[in-house]
Chains A and B, each alone.
Chain A
Amino acid sequence: MSNPDTLPKSLLAGYQKYGNRKVAMRKKDLGIWQSYTWQDSYEQVRQLSLGLISLGLKRGDKVCIIGDNDPQYFWAQLAIQSAGCVAVGIFTDSIPPEIQYIVHHSDAVLVFAKDQEQCDKLLELRDQVPAVQRVIYWDDKGLWNYNEPWLISLEQVQGLGRSLDAEQPDLFERSVNQGCGEDLAGFCYTSGTTGLPKGAMISHGNLIAGCDQTIQVDPRLETDEYMSFLPPAWITENTLGLTIHLRTGMVVNFPEAPETVQQNIREVAPQSLLFSARLWENMVAMVQVKLIESTWVNRLLYQIFMPVGHKVAGLRFEERKPVGLFWRFLHTLGEFAVFQPLRDKLGLVSVKSAYSSGAALNPDVIRFFRAIGVNIKQLYGSTEAQVHTLHTGDDVRFETVGVPPPGMGIKIAEDGEILVKGATVVRGYYKNPEATEKAFFVDQDGQRWYRTGDAGHIDSDGHLIYLDRVKEMLTLSSGEKYSPQYIEGRLKFSPYIRNVMSIGSEDSPFVTALINIDFDNVGRWAERQGLPYTTLVDLSQKPEVYELIRRDVEEVNRTLPPAARVRKFVLLHKEFDADEGELTRTRKLRRSLLGERYGDMIATMYGGGDRVQVQAAVKYRDGREGVIETTVRIATLEDEMTEEKPA
């Protein structure tokens, strides 16, 4: 059994390899990290799995699990899979109707529910889930006086397992060895933005392929530490956590409570981490706040050495130039004074693979972490095919989500949709042939592809650029598609741009943009340049400022296919204003109103003029109202990829 093809077989292999000599998992309990060796893990799973069998579980049955990250969650999942059954994870914050839907739809016969909170939800649903024979809990707090025979503790189930083990000592191994890679390991229900959740049927082969593809480009050692805090019902925790643990021996640590994750990460100092973009941003904000509360010595050191960190990171990652001796010397000092202590505070002291997934990460956040010595990489994937692309090694770029790992194939469909193939692509959705038909197809070569529903394109270096969901893309008169969200989101990352509305529809041949400059930042920039200005109206129309913003627009254009690039833009003489109804109160653009109000400008941009006369009502600070008249210039960007019109 050199290469186990299921998760339980991998557990067995790990147990035979490490036995009692190596820690498999740790959980902080009563303030102390408790260790479980591979033998502990194995025995827990063995007793539990046999217990489930004595409760009447048959091969192919479905069992739901709803609970936080605990060793018991992983043991329950492995016990279910060891019995040849399918584990269905449910998010802990699910409300009873959502739980009812998944438990009912997956045909679950047993449910693991961690604690009182989850058991209460199931008790409430009891009449609506008649197929569920027992509910198994592993945290008895508050359940002491329930006296409800439908509920049974995990220890009781293991007790049943021990009795069965005494009768049939070879049953567990037999059951595990009966499994194969084709067997279903679990269902992951995806929270579809529209319609009911769909249960992606994930096989052991899918999970093992997902793990092996990832660790080929991002190796893990058996001495590595991992902190399990992503929801275990999510595919990502299954791939990056449980499966990698079983395949490489990496130690999995479980936080004391959901609220202590950040503290526990610091204690464990894991080698790999995956945070959402929001979490990375929060960490930067947290550092800024703590710094203000810190001593003046710390603030001074920070002010001295952060620019050094930025300089060196800029040379290394952006300009890709060698770092001179002088800077290297300063950087070493900074490492001792600031970077290393900061990484320690953030729990990033040993991190080798720091990933961000979900929304695009602000380049300034990436630069901050690079300056303190953490190179954050993007990871893009789905429940249906796990990791599609990721940044590998030092080849990390702000605008891309990386390259497919070996074994994964990526291609862009006619309409811009990202298609993926590989051993990780699941068989389909449980009891939903219609959705399966829509999302998966087999090409002429017999390859199975998954339609991600995401739009993107591949740049000249083979990196994938993620734009938006396909249904959010707009079409130009040429039939080409472009992503307003992508353009606006990326442009807003510029410190000089306050707000943007991109324009382009089936009536327009190309994309244009109305841009609000950030008066404070551009003003400060102008002062540094010795550029005199009076008001926003004046500043926004300076040729130098147009040049400054043009560079940002060109930067974003470079990441886009030629047809989807911004060709013309104007810098507005005033800001979009919620009081004038131009923005909603949550500061979202009111596109149709803005389209009307700035109709002249938009018409001129498409008409070929180079300036527009505008009148704008202004309210002065003293309450008087007036009208200003000014000329707004239109900037045109030349595109090296397309032919220019003859002059």
Chain B
Amino acid sequence: MRTDGIQLCVDDVSLNFAGISALLYVSLEARQGEILAIIGPNGAGKTSLLNCINNFYRPDKGRIIFEGHDLTRLPPHRIAQLGIARTFQNIALYTGLSTLDNLMAARHIHMRAGFLQSLLYWGPAQREDIAHRQVVEEIIDFLEIEHIRKAIVGTLPYGLRKRVELGRALAMEPRLLLLDEPMSGMSQEEKEDMARFILDIHERHGKTILLIEHDMGLVMDIADRVVVLDFGLKIAEGPPEEIRHNEAVIRAYLGEDMTEGRE
């Protein structure tokens, strides 16, 4: 599958909650190394789609294929090991631990040392720890969070916690990064910083990024392609320029009246 550059394929996925459709026959593809944004009004099914990719939700119909693996059959921790990391809309960190410990914890999927070795902190275990710390320190440097390295995450302001969460996802060294509203609730300056980090991650490491975001302006600036969901249906897909002028999208965002009024 990777030969044609398609890394993630969501194929005809439907998801129902007690008869209410969250997703209806959604199909999309994320190509290797692109920034794909998923936008849509509230309740459009954006987060549900990410949850299906993680297999927090099991789709009722359809398949999700990542680099040849069918994710719908795998438990979430296996999916993480395949190289998919994500951040959450409402931040999921160990609030009682420091930034550093949160990031180190994310390295566990790459840790090889056995229990006894780790307990003695000797030989390979120590070398491994140092190597992981180096990776984590590079992420700290990259995200400019040196000053909160030792700070307890629960005491940090919201914008910084979001940044730590992105750092945690990066520490897993994923090939596909799922970002669920990484800029929600941020000030304009924080948003710009976050946008810069996302672009840098993309440029530097060529990671594929699947991004959910409300701020249309930012999405249009940084995404390569945009998929628009509305009431669980995919209503449009294409480059930002095209989406900006798409009638169906304008209707979904601005309501029927506006488009009628224009005629």
Chain A interface (Cβ < 8 Å from any Cβ of B)? 28-32, 141-142, 144-145, 256-257, 259-260, 263
Contacts and interface: CB of A to CB of B under 8 A. Distances in A.
B241 interface: no
B196 A31 contact: no
B200 interface: yes
Given A142-B196, A144-B203, A145-B203, A30 B147 contact: no
Interface in B118-162: 133-134, 137-138, 140-142, 144, 146-147, 149
A141 B200 CA distance: 8
Given A142-B196, A142-B200, A30 B144 contact: no
A31 B149 contact: yes
Contacts, number: 32
15 contacts: A28-B146, A29-B141, A30-B134, A30-B138, A31-B133, A31-B140, A32-B137, A141-B200, A142-B200, A257-B147, A259-B144, A259-B146, A259-B147, A260-B146, A263-B147
Interface string B72-104: 000000000000000000000000000000000
A245 B147 CA distance: 26
Q: Which 7 A-B pairs have the closest CB atoms?
A: A259-B147, A30-B137, A260-B147, A257-B146, A256-B146, A31-B137, A145-B203
Contacts of B200: 141-142
B204 interface: yes
Contacts of A145: 203
Contacts of B141: 29-30
Contacts of B134: 30
Contacts of A141: 142, 200
Interface of B: 133-134, 137-138, 140-142, 144, 146-147, 149, 196, 200, 203-204
Contacts of A259: 144, 146-147
Given A30-B134, A30-B137, A31-B149, A144 B204 contact: yes
B139 to A, nearest CB: 10
Contacts of B203: 142, 144-145
Looking at B137, B142, B144, B146, which has the most chain A CB atoms within 10 Å of its CB?
B146
A145 B33 CA distance: 15
A256 B203 CA distance: 24
Contacts of A30: 134, 137-138, 140-141
Given A30-B138, A142-B196, 6 more contacts: A29-B141, A30-B134, A32-B137, A256-B146, A257-B144, A260-B146
B111 to A, nearest CB: 19
A141 B204 CA distance: 9
Looking at B134, B137, B147, B196, which has the most chain A CB atoms within 10 Å of its CB?
B147
Contacts of B204: 144
Contacts of B196: 142
Contacts of A257: 144, 146-147
Contacts of A256: 146-147
A263 to B, nearest CB: 7
A28 B196 CA distance: 24
Contacts of A28: 146
Nearest to B199: A142
A385 B196 CA distance: 42
Nearest to A30: B137
Contacts of B142: 141
A144 B146 CA distance: 22
Contacts of A32: 137
B197 to A, nearest CB: 9
Contacts of B147: 256-257, 259-260, 263
A144 B133 CA distance: 24
Contacts of B144: 257, 259
Nearest to A142: B200
B147 to A, nearest CB: 4
B21 to A, nearest CB: 42
A280 B21 CA distance: 60
A32 B203 CA distance: 27
Nearest to B149: A31
B129 to A, nearest CB: 13
Nearest to B137: A30
Contacts of A263: 147
A67 to B, nearest CB: 15
Contacts of A142: 196, 200, 203
Nearest to B150: A263
B200 to A, nearest CB: 5
A142 B146 CA distance: 18
B35 to A, nearest CB: 14
A136 B140 CA distance: 25
Contacts of A31: 133, 137, 140, 146, 149
A26 B134 CA distance: 19
A144 B206 CA distance: 12
A2 B133 CA distance: 47
A523 B174 CA distance: 66
A31 B200 CA distance: 21
A29 B149 CA distance: 13
A141 B133 CA distance: 20
A142 B192 CA distance: 14
Nearest to A28: B146
A630 B234 CA distance: 79
Looking at A31, A145, A260, A263, which has the most chain B CB atoms within 10 Å of its CB?
A31
Nearest to B144: A257
A120 to B, nearest CB: 10
A31 B134 CA distance: 9
Contacts of B149: 31
A308 B149 CA distance: 37
Nearest to B151: A263
A28 B141 CA distance: 11
A6 to B, nearest CB: 35
A32 B133 CA distance: 11
B233 to A, nearest CB: 36
A347 to B, nearest CB: 15
A263 B200 CA distance: 28
Nearest to A117: B196
A137 to B, nearest CB: 15
Nearest to B141: A30
Contacts of B146: 28, 31, 256-257, 259-260
B143 to A, nearest CB: 11
Nearest to B196: A142
A67 B134 CA distance: 26
A544 B144 CA distance: 58
A30 B130 CA distance: 12
A262 to B, nearest CB: 9
A429 B223 CA distance: 50
B24 to A, nearest CB: 39
Contacts of B140: 30-31
A531 B133 CA distance: 66
A142 B203 CA distance: 8
A627 to B, nearest CB: 50
A144 B147 CA distance: 25
